[in-house]
């Protein structure tokens, strides 16, 4: 499969690297075509890895991953181009966090989410919110954390969610540990886990943890 991973940060490079390792073709998207971090990533990742602008990456892809900051996601995706997202599965892993007055804050929150903003702005894209609730190393190596810990996803399109569930399986997440939260409004709940995640991170002093669900039925 041909993937565009929009974002040259730790998350984009980690997801892109794992996808290449799994045999997929990956173009890492950036605001510029010659981003040095992206070029270095592609050199290390091998022949199935490439770099390009957000638009160049998205235009050649079958599946697009949004791995930029939540506060700039709409800007990056507009740069990628609505025509390059139309009809494609768009996996949104971002969190709308930013430092405000010295504290990490989430916005939008409760009455909206970036996942919903993206689906509204690009109605022809098949947005699936996923993976934003774990650290990127855990995203692609769930065995780093012991136990039957869970991932969440949500979105409007059942077939798109099925494709993402299959991809998560390639990453090592058994189907039974992928919890479907329903339509894209579920992104509010997923993004609002961030304040809890950050508190736990501060308490544990590392990012290799996740949530495990227990239920009667």
Ligand X SMILES: NC(=O)c1ccc[n+]([C@@H]2O[C@H](COP(=O)([O-])OP(=O)(O)OC[C@H]3O[C@@H](n4cnc5c(N)ncnc54)[C@H](OP(=O)(O)O)[C@@H]3O)[C@@H](O)[C@H]2O)c1
Site residues (vs ligand X, CB under 6 A): 7-12, 30-32, 35, 67-70, 72, 75-76, 93-95, 97, 132, 135-136
**What are phi and psi for residue 33, nearest 5 degrees?**
-75, -15
Residue of this chain nearest to ligand X (CB atom):
9
Residue 93 neighbours by CB under 8 Å, 6+ apart: 11, 15, 65, 66, 67, 130, 131, 132, 139
Nearest to 85 by CA among 112, 51, 119, 111: 119
| Euclidean distance between CA atoms 27 and 209, whole angstroms | 29
The two structure tokens encoding residue 56? 């160049």
């Amino acid at each position: 499969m041909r993937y565009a991973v929009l974002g040259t940060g730790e998350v984009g490079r980690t997801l892109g690297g794992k996808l290449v390792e799994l045999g997929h073709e990956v173009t890492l998207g950036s605001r510029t075509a010659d981003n040095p971090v992206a070029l270095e990533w592609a050199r290390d990742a091998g022949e199935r890895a490439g770099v390009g602008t957000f638009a160049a990456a998205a235009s050649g892809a079958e599946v697009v991953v949004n791995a930029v900051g939540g506060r700039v996601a709409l800007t990056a995706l507009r740069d990628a181009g609505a025509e390059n997202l139309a009809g494609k599965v768009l996996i949104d892993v971002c969190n709308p966090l930013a430092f405000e007055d010295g504290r990490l804050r989430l916005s939008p929150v409760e009455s909206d989410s970036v996942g919903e903003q993206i689906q509204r702005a690009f109605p022809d894209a098949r947005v699936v919110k996923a993976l934003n609730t774990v650290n990127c190393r855990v995203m692609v190596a769930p065995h780093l954390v012991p136990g039957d810990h869970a991932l969440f996803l949500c979105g409007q399109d059942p077939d798109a969610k099925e494709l993402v569930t299959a991809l998560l399986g390639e990453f090592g997440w058994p189907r039974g540990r992928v919890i479907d939260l329903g339509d894209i409004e579920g992104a509010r709940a997923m993004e609002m886990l961030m304040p809890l995640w950050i508190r736990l991170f501060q308490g544990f002093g590392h990012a290799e943890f996740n949530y495990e669900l227990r239920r009667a039925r």
